Amino acid sequence: MLWCCFKYRKTTDVVLIDTYSTLNFYYALLVSQLCRLLDLKYVPSLNGGNLPMRLDKNPRLSRIIFKPAYKLISPSIYLKEAFEAHGYKKVVYIPNSLEMDQYSFQVKKLEEVKLLWVRSFSNIYNPTLAVKILKALQDEGLKASLCMVGPDSDGSLEDVKQLAKSLEVSVTITGKLPKKDWLALAKDYNIFINTTNFDNMPVSVIEAMALGLPVVSTNVGGLPFLLKHEKDSLLVPPDDVEAFVVAIKQLMNNPVASRAMAFNARKKVEQFDWELVKQQWFKLLS
């Protein structure tokens, strides 16, 4: 990216910088300073759900990155409000987008529990919780299965495999899949679980909503800004197996209400269609 900024400096109008709270934060620092040196406008795209921690922990570096930026783009109201509370006023809310015609809505049958989890295997997303939820459901006598989709990020995939082995539960792990493949796979599952400890506005959750999968998610970070409890999803505290089990049973025992939540979720995410969202980008960059 640094080389690209330099190579195309004379033909570039604006540099978009994906900005996260992990080590990528320092990548954003380097790219932003090169842009300043080259007198290029740059726009950090605020994607890390734990970025407010960076604002508190690294205030000086945060100011160096964010204060000189042309604009800050937040895909969630959560991060927009967090940055504004720290004195950053050039924050524009533009949500993550989908090409909605790729997402066929499917009314799910809730005859047995078929859980789908889609994320990178990373400690901050708490993937081992999904395995514990599966075990707890089976211990209560429910017929339940779990499929986990995503690449390994920090060794958490091996933790998931070891936990599943120790708990004697079978988990389907596909690894990273092309989008079209996991969208096809989603047809075989009827509940989407999001187990994360930190989050912003995850595209995988938006995609699940578009597909008609009832969503049970932790209520952390930007998720309560995206999801409304018992309106289009069920929200539970982080790292709480029992709360997830109660919520999943609620979906199973109330299929009419579950179906209504799924319809509401689909209607909500239709506003994130790229044909609508791109107009906000045109306005920003024009």
Taking only the tens place, the pLDDT of each residue in 130-140 is 999 999 999 99
- Identify the pLDDT of residue 200: 87
- Identify the pLDDT of residue 23: 86
Condensed to tens digits (0 to 9), the pLDDT of residues 4-63 reads 888 898 999 999 999 998 888 999 999 999 999 999 999 999 998 889 999 999 999 999
3-state secondary structure the chain: CHHHHHHCCCCCCEEEEEECCCCHHHHHHHHHHHHHHCCCEEEEEECCCCHHHHHHHCHHHHHHHHCCCCCEEECCHHHHHHHHHCCCCCEEECCCCECHHHCCCCCCCCCCEEEEEECCECHHHCCHHHHHHHHHHHHCCCCEEEEEECCECCCHHHHHHHHHHHHCCCCEEEECCCHHHHHHHHHHCCEEEECCCCCCCCHHHHHHHHHCCCEEEECCCCHHHHCCECCCEEEECCCCHHHHHHHHHHHHHCHHHHHHHHHHHHHHHHHHEHHHHHHHHHHHHC
| pLDDT of 1 higher than 80 | no
Condensed to tens digits (0 to 9), the pLDDT of residues 81-136 reads 999 999 999 999 999 999 999 999 999 999 999 999 999 999 999 999 999 999 99
- Identify the pLDDT of residue 6: 84
- Identify the pLDDT of residue 116: 98
- Identify the pLDDT of residue 49: 84
Condensed to tens digits (0 to 9), the pLDDT of residues 161-183 reads 999 999 999 999 999 999 999 99
- Identify the pLDDT of residue 286: 83
pTM of the model: 0.91
Condensed to tens digits (0 to 9), the pLDDT of residues 207-263 reads 999 999 999 999 999 999 999 999 999 999 999 999 999 999 999 999 999 999 999
Kindly indicate the confidence band of residue 271, based on its pLDDT and cuts at 50, 70 and 90.
very high
- Identify the pLDDT of residue 48: 82
- Identify the pLDDT of residue 93: 96
